[in-house]
Amino acid sequence: MSIKTIQERNTRVEADKAWESSFTRRGLIALGTYAIALFFMTKIGVPNPALNALVPTGGYVLSTLSLPFIKLWWLKNVYRR
């Protein structure tokens, strides 16, 4: 494997990591979660579907905010490689 091939692979891996943790990705998933929840809640007749669709969306957003801290704890205390 050449150095150039390794550098190209590293560039792709870094881009993938950046995308995974980007606010753009999180925002798009949150928006999609809200739209899907709103659609289904409207179809099944949930009162105030626009407000209630915020619950699963908020859960998703909170999980993305707390995971970095959990990951650091896990790496330090559980993974121990």
Is 11 a member of any domain? no
Gap between the Cα atoms of 15 and 7, Å rounded? 12
Per-residue model confidence (pLDDT) at position 80? 76
- Tens-binned pLDDT, residue by residue, of the chain (81 aa): 799 999 999 999 999 989 988 899 999 999 999 999 999 999 999 999 999 999 999 999 988 887 778 888 888 899 876
Is 44 a member of any domain? yes
Degrees to nearest 5, angle at CA 63 with 24 and 27: 15
Is 73 a member of any domain? yes
Is 14 a member of any domain? no
Is 17 a member of any domain? no
Is 65 a member of any domain? yes
Give how many domains the chain has, as a whole number. Answer: 1
Gap between the Cα atoms of 55 and 47, Å rounded? 13
Domain that holds residue 53: 23-79
Residue 2 structure tokens: 């050449």
Provide the sign of the torsion angle of the four alpha carbons 30, 36, 38, 40, taken in this order.
negative
Q: Quick count: other Cβ atoms within 10 Å of Cβ 45?
A: 7
Is 12 a member of any domain? no
Per-residue model confidence (pLDDT) at position 41? 98
Per-residue model confidence (pLDDT) at position 39? 98
